[in-house]
């Protein structure tokens, strides 16, 4: 299959699942060595899970299928430029390339907040729309300190 074929599948998933009432207009396909490893579609409204974006669902399924949290060597085809959450998941999973059809500005035109989130992230904490307050730093650090000394930890 070609890159265009994989993108058509991502777009097809977005249409099929949106039309079935299972979520928003987003689909994603993860490919390794030319073969589809996993497919995901937006399931936010059907599962009441705001993290069930197409890309996150596809990453979860690809990790299960390959038995690893490291998707090095894989690429993702997604019907829309990933939002900050999905982009973070893609980076954490170490996917090697992102292909997308619509971008964040297209998503904003139909009411999705991706562009708002991209603007929020670089703001200082005290200027963001949702207040953030640091509590119990010393107690929290104890877990990090123990992790740092753990001999059998699996780095990720």
As annotated, the active-site residues are: 55
What is the full DSSP assignment across 38-72?
Answer: EEEE--HHHHT-TT--HHHHHHHHHHHHHT-S--T
Inter-residue contact 28 to 36 (CB < 8 Å): no
Using the structure block, give the residue that is written with the tokens 């730093």.
Answer: 137
> 3-state class of 147 per DSSP?
helix
Q: Alpha carbon 58 to chain centroid distance?
A: 8
């Amino acid at each position: 299959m070609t890159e265009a074929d994989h993108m058509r599948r991502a777009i097809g998933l977005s249409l099929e699942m949106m039309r079935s009432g299972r979520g928003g207009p987003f689909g994603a396909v993860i490919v390794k060595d030319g073969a589809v490893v996993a497919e995901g579609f937006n399931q936010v409204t059907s599962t009441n899970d705001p993290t069930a974006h197409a890309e996150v669902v596809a990453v979860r399924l690809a990790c299960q299928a390959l038995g690893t949290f490291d998707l090095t060597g894989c690429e993702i085809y997604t019907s829309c430029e990933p939002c900050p959450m999905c982009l973070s998941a893609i980076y954490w999973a170490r996917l090697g390339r992102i292909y997308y059809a619509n971008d964040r500005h297209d998503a904003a035109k139909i009411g999705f907040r991706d562009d708002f989130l991209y603007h929020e992230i670089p703001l200082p904490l005290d200027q963001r729309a949702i207040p953030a307050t640091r509590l119990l730093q010393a107690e929290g650090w104890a877990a990090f300190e123990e992790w740092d000394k753990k001999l059998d930890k699996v780095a990720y």
